[in-house]
Structure 1
Amino acid sequence: MAAKKTARKTAKSKTGKSWHGRLTAEADTATARLLASLDVDHALWKYDIAGSLAHAKMLREIEVLSAAEYAKIKAGLLGVARAIEAGRVDMPIELEDIHMVIESALIKRIGPAGGKLHTGRSRNDQVALDLRLWARDATAGLVEGIAELQQAFVGLARRQGKVVMPAYTHLQRAQPIVAGHAMLAYVEMLQRDADRLADAAVRINVCPLGSGAVAGTSLPLDRARTAELLGFPKFTRNSIDATSDRDFLAELCFCCAMLGVHLSRWAEDWIIYSSTEFGLVELHDAYCTSSSMMPQKKNADTLELIRGKSASGIAQLVGMLTLMKGLPLAYDRDMQDDKRFAFQAVKDMQSVLAVAPGIVASASLGEEKIAADIDAGFLDATALAEYLVNKGVPFRKAHGLVGRLVAQAEAQNLTLLELPMQTLQKACPKITPDVKQHLGPANVVKRYVPEGAGGAKQLDQQLRYWKRKLG
């Protein structure tokens, strides 16, 4: 009985949907909400207008539109754009998406000529176009944000890069490095993110318009012209794939997820390094918070939130891939939710990149704390083993000898540099007094040889490289 009552309620069709000629029943409110995507895809309105302007111009050039019709449509679209920007366009959920909102507003503004705009076009290729235009801008914006963060790390490396600090493996002190080497490690990670986005942009930058719903159209559309007008170097080759492809969004989500992981690793490092126990990094107060109860607290909350955003990036990627994995060709309505995943992934990374450069640019290294603790942890043990190698001792044997010397020094609360020469020579007669020039973190970083190592000489080389690369 309830079902019949609902059917009677929805028997009238007044929505003016693009498919109202086929269906006569109107969706109830709950169904309309399910069908609608305006809460998300309204963000595409500028791209939808741009695509429509190009499509209209091409239709005029192939004489599907008269000069008067084209002039009306162009002026109308620009007027709709201004109205949307001013918040003066109604977006009822009955119209479902931004494409129909714009078309409806256009027809209201200019009359029947507005109904000709959709000639040779489906919402399937229309939304594919809008998403590619959006993704193209999104990738460019992320690359710019990454470059700004890279510059901040390079700046810190220039300011305090020659400070000798520990490098860690397993979160245990490993070998000494100059601090700039650690800063530039993040720059390298971020460069891979920028390169990955630039590579993804190649596959994003393909025009799907003209593919129609699934099989193209019998109208003589000039796809090359539309692509040219929209700044695409080429157009898609297969209408089925063009309307159902969301690889480019999944790839963008992956780029965001990987960027988020890199930013999370940096945030984790600095959360630890800024703690009292480490004291390697001092964060500016503007990027910290305190406690509602404990007045002494200085919490690295911005870094913790950046670390947390990586979870969202990974989640959006998994959501996108899961959404697409079982869809038959070609377009399916499931894909309406692709925007939720892609938009959120990009939004999260944009929010992080808006803050991260300031965190780095305003931070400083705790030079006094670093210097006070630098001799702890036998950071020069590997250097001593390599000293023995240069004296002709096989590395594996040298490794064992130094391990025993470390144990002796630890038992006596001494550094390797402080061990008596008699003790060193008893362990290995090949050790001579020149060993003192090889021990101690400051000496070790001077002796790194290969390019890409953690010494001062290599830092200078790397800074010159990044100056050329980043400007």
Structure 2
Amino acid sequence: MTQQQQQTWSQRFETSLHPAIAVFNASIPFDIQLIEYDLTGSQAHARMLAKCGIISSQEGEKLVTALEQIRQEYRQGEFNPGIDAEDVHFAVEHRLVEIIGDIGKKLHTARSRNDQVGTDTRLYLRDQIQQIRQQLREFQQVLLKIAENNLETFIPGYTHLQRAQPVSLAHHLLAYLEMTQRDWERLGDVLKRVNISPLGCGALAGTTFPIDRHYTAELLGFADVYKNSLDGVSDRDFAIEFLGAASLIMVHLSRLSEEIIFWASQEFSFVTLKDSCATGSSIMPQKKNPDVPELVRGKTGRVFGHLQAMLVIMKGLPLAYNKDLQEDKEGLFDAVNTVKSCLQAMTILMAEGLEFSTQRLNSAVDEDYSNATDVADYLAAKGVPFREAYNLVGKVVRTCLAGGKLLKDLTLEEWRELHPAFDEDIYQAISPKQVVAARNSFGGTGFTQVKQAILAAHSIVNS
């Protein structure tokens, strides 16, 4: 059988497609990933055709049964369509006709590849979003567990990558839990737009057959149907929204990765990488490299690129379907796989791949001037205008730097020379534990606030 005879659409054409163009045109190498969703969508379509009397109930059952046979053949490795199949939809249809003959040719009644691929892609993405949301929950649970064990472990807080104020390590990690909670919620919102059925929109204008689009939507678990057939076959907003949400997930993972890379350096020594999540150098035997966070940081650009590519694909497309839309899948599939693999790797890294150096962290916040604001607050609490107190403390820090002292090293006499409001309680006020504990405003790093945040996080991530 020639390639020309194999193509469903070939009777309009007098000559065969050039072999190189056939390869260029084919999507089967990547859209085979949609086969399970294509089969599920086709089964629903067959049941609808039978329900509406467009085909007989016996024909509908034969179609559903044969489609299930193809599913099992694929799962067992017995159905492996090649490039001649062009795409997953033709591959399934060809096999269907081989199994049940001409009845298989009735499956495409009242349906186009345009609404078919749109349905498959939405079914796929709906499934993947649910899996990613579960992965986010698992990542959050790991962060929460570490936070619970490190309420009174301190870490320098930074602004402009300069020491700013000490914070609870738990508070620091819970910031990432908040970010990923927004990711989880954002994906749920995207899911609302994914979970709309285009099946029955046809090529672009609907169909002359008396179909029931709401019935197929119900069978497939869609919450609604597209109300405009042109929009239904050409819309990829849902994919762009997903790629935007995926990009933000990667932003958050990359930010944490960047911090872990810093923390694992000898200069910081805030964490120790375990052998299970690190590799060595081919030439420098002393090195242990933070491969996981570096790869996550690098892979982030891939997902950003897929978002940009999808936006560029869509920006100039006239209604309705255009072949450009075949380019929506490879980037989408890769973004899904990248996000899932990065979430898995970062969850493993945080759960069992690194250890926080508690002693080093606690000593780090005791060897800088990050308690300077608390000196100003101390004076302000005693009635000194804050700006006056701020300027005074700035001079104190400058003097200490010149003398090689920390604020805690000043004697009470030296404090009182600076301002008579200072008393012995200044030493407690500027101790790292008190500096952290005192920031008890809602959402702050104070222990009471962080305990409440942990309790609130439990109700979210374990629900």
Give the alignment's TM-score, normalised by structure 1: 0.95
The DSSP-based 3-state class of the residue aligned with 1:210 is coil
What is the CA distance between 1:296 and its match in structure 2? 0.9
Given the alignment of the two structures, is residue 446 of structure 1 paired with residue 437 of structure 2, yes or no?
A: yes
Structure 2: distance between partners of 1:54 and 1:19: 24
User: Contact conserved, 2:4 with 2:15, CA < 8 A, in 1?
Assistant: no
After superposition, give the CA deviation of every residue in 1:121-180 in whole Å (9 maximum; x if it has no partner): 000000000010011011111111111111111111112232122111111111011110
Distance of 1:82 and 1:402 partners within structure 2:
75
**Is the 2:198–2:232 contact (alpha carbons within 8 Å) kept by the matching residues of 1?**
yes
- Show structure 2 runs of 5+ residues with no match: none
Matched, 1:376 2:367: yes
Residues 421-471 of structure 1: per-residue CA shift (max 9 Å, x gap): 222222222222222221121121121121111122111111100111111
Residue 277 of structure 1, CA deviation:
0.9
Task: Please state how far the C-alpha of 1:289 moved relative to its aligned partner.
Answer: 0.4
Of residues 44-53 and 438-447 in structure 1, the stretch that sits farther from structure 2 once superposed is 438-447
Partner of 2:357: 366
Q: CA deviation at 1:13?
A: 6.1
Distance 1:455 1:149 in 2: 24
SS of residue in 2 equivalent to 1:21: helix
Corresponding position: 1:191 with 2:190: no
CA contact (8 A) 1:13 1:24 kept: no
Deviation at 1:378, TM superposition (A): 0.8
> Structure 1 residue 356: deviation in Å?
1.1
- 1:258-292 Cα distance to aligned partner (Å, 9 max, x none): 11111000000001011111111222210000111
2:256 counterpart of 1:266: yes
| Residue in structure 2 matched with residue 222 of structure 1 by the alignment | 212
> 1:401 corresponds to which letter in structure 2?
L
Alpha carbons 2:38, 2:120 under 8 Å: kept: yes
Matched residue, 2:128 = 138
Mapping 1:137-286, distance limit 5 Å = 137-286=127-276
Determine whether 1:425 maps to 2:416: yes
Which shifted more, 317-326 or 122-131?
317-326
Q: What is the correspondence of 1:76-115 to structure 2 with a 5 Å cutoff?
A: 76-115=66-105
Task: Note the C-alpha offset of 1:305.
Answer: 0.3
Distance in 1 (CA, whole Å) between partners of 2:8 and 2:323 is 15
Give the secondary-structure state (helix, strand or coil) at the position aligned to 1:433: coil
Give the conservation status (yes or no) of the 8 Å contact 1:168–1:174: yes
SS in 1 for 2:197: coil
Letter of the 2:210 counterpart: P
TM-score computed with the length of structure 2 as normaliser: 0.97
**What code does the residue aligned with 1:44 have?**
L
Residue type of the alignment partner of 1:438: A
3-state SS of 2:196 partner: coil
Contact in 2 for aligned 1:206/1:236 (Cα 8 Å): yes
Contact kept? 1:405, 1:424, Cα under 8 Å: no
Which residue identity lines up with residue 179 of structure 1 in the other structure?
Answer: L
Task: Please list every run of 5 or more consecutive structure 1 residues that lacks an aligned counterpart in the other structure.
Answer: 1-11
Greater mean alpha carbon deviation, residues 105-114 or residues 432-441 = 432-441
1:185, distance to aligned residue in structure 2 (A)? 0.8
Residue pair 2:158, 2:165 contacting (<8 A) in 1 also = yes
Q: Retained in 1: the 8 A contact 2:63–2:107?
A: yes
Change (3 A) 1:13 1:181: closer
Kept in 1: contact 2:201–2:233 (CA 8 A):
yes
Give the Cα–Cα distance (whole angstroms) in 2 for the partners of residues 68 and 196 of structure 1: 44
- Percent identical among aligned pairs is 39
CA distance in 2, matches of 1:105, 1:208: 25
1:24 and 1:256 map into 2 onto residues whose CA distance is 45
1-structure distance, mates of 2:276, 2:16: 54
Matched, 1:467 2:437: no
C-alpha distance in 1 between matches for 2:304 and 2:264: 26
Which secondary structure state, in structure 2, belongs to the residue aligned with residue 14 of structure 1? helix
Post-superposition shift, 1:373?
Answer: 2.6
Which amino acid in 2 is paired with 1:443? Q
Q: What amino acid does structure 1 have at the position aligned with 2:426? A: V
From 398, 413, 433, the equivalent of 1:407 is 398
Contact 1:15–1:94, Cα closer than 8 Å, also in 2: no
Instruction: State the distance in 2 between where 1:252 and 1:131 align.
Output: 12
Preserved contact between residue 437 and residue 445 of structure 2 (Cα < 8 Å):
no
2:288 alignment partner, one of 295, 298, 301: 298
Task: Give the aligned residue type for 2:376.
Answer: A
Which residue of the partner structure matches residue 9 of structure 1?
Answer: none
Aligned pairs for 1:392-403 (under 5 A) are 392-403=383-394
Q: Deviations over 1:231-283 (max 9, x none)?
A: 01111100000000001111111111111111000000001011111111222
SS at match of 2:10: coil
**Contact in 1 for aligned 2:41/2:119 (Cα 8 Å):** yes
Contact kept in structure 2, 1:250 and 1:317, CA below 8 Å: yes
